Structure 1
Amino acid sequence: MSSPAAASHVIGLPMEDGAQVEAMFAADPKAHFELHWHAEWSVGAILEGRCEFTCAGERCIAEAGDMVLMAPFMLHTAGVSAQGFRMVMLYVPHAWVGARFGWPAGLRGELLKGVWQDAETADALAAAALSEDGVRVGRLLEQVLSAQTGRELVPVERRAGDERVEAICAALETEDACRIDPGALASRLGVSREHFHRLFRLAVGMAPAHYARLARIGRAKALLREGSAQADVAAQCGFTDQAHFSRWFRRCFGVTPGNYMAREPGCGSLPIE
């Protein structure tokens, strides 16, 4: 099995039309991911071991030979088997997928399956990613997404709710979750603190502090992708310091910010002892 030092890393693979897909190679039997979301489609191939996770509130299990598919902004967690584990997870820009299938802006095809057995496709996708063949990866991804998305169109992001709650959500994307004053937020809505929490959970599905952290960590990932320095990203996204930011980034995305920033072709191997 791979050593802990080489447990997880991310590379960028150029596809056709100038788009790029991110490939995460993971082989860490101790990996556990906090509740988070990705703005991209997540397409995974389980090569060895077992992955137990929740997605959109449902408990799921994926084992060797299984494919995993999650739509953008689907809340999920993950934990892997205690012994051997290997996985390739691809993060596919929604703009690229939407253009391929002709979906209107802000909409996507419904997700038909989240986990299914297809060892042949899992092996082919992993082999293409490991060989850094972005064009081949793109063609396989198009096949997977074509088979597992339906004609019914649904919003890419969650449906907008109470306008006052949406305004609070926008503010929380830049505020430090550790310094949130629930009473002040309730005052903005003109309701009691208890009613605010109920209203927010009903509209968003989680507590305000949790939403703030997830929104800011997602924004941080986008800034790192654009080339911003780690310290600047930590400050812009409201984390108390760079170490605090790094801990939460790894809990959600499986790699450190520095590892994520180094996602260049040429390091796509997934070592096995």
Structure 2
Amino acid sequence: MRIAPGDGPGGPERIEARFGGQAYAPHRHDTYAIGVTLNGVQSFTYRGVERNSLPGNAIVLHPDEMHDGHAGAEGGFRYRMLYIDPDAIRDALPDGTRSLPFVKECISRDRALCAAALSALRHIDREKTELEWASDISDIANALGRIDPATAPRRTAPADIGAVRLAKQAMLECLDRDLPLGDLESITGQSRFALARHFRAVSGISPHRWLVMRRLDRARAALQTGATLSAAAAEAGFADQAHMTRHFKNAFGMTPGAWRERLNYLASKKP
């Protein structure tokens, strides 16, 4: 079993585990347990019924619900799970929400929920920032809310375009370092979860993802002027060169070194 490094305020516990046979005895949590089956058949008894989760499925276990765990096939199973305080889910839902979401089918292939869970559980070996967690928890809460009609708010306020503009301006001014999330809350007048909702509604992207793309813009500009990879990473606000490379490849399908080589090759072919 692997337990992810501490993530500071706002970061729920994350684990990755591999089991064969009986994994754990009946027990319960005081949190939402949101997970993804990675390999094998993850079997468990939940609300009195035997369940079997296959690779790619999302799992939602509600607070205080008894469950166990065991392998459903030879070879065992591997999964990742995060444990989110119900208060964080409630805070992340839109104003006017009537109740905490309840997902009747604890094994789900809902695209939004699976994507949100995978995003939150990706890169389990590194710490996440408060801004990342605000986006992840907001996406998970909204996915849960869409699945449970009873959670729907009485009314949904329009997106706060002004708050999103203020957030973007503040992040651009501090691009080379992480702006404390509390500062963003003060600047925009929105809670971290409300800001994440408004940001996605206005820009179609989470504030963390928007920030990463602006940092990649700065890194590419630095590389074009001859900066080293490590210098470009530092100038753009990435933790280190490896951090920049991972995001660069995810965004553009190649490493920054390969991108610069291609750029130089194209420049050499110009008449």
Q: Please, what TM-score do these two structures have when normalized by structure 1? A: 0.45
Q: Answer 1 or 2: which has greater strand percent.
A: 1
Structure possessing the higher relative contact order (Cα contacts under 8 Å, 6 or more residues apart): 1
What TM-score do the two structures reach when normalised by structure 2? Answer: 0.45
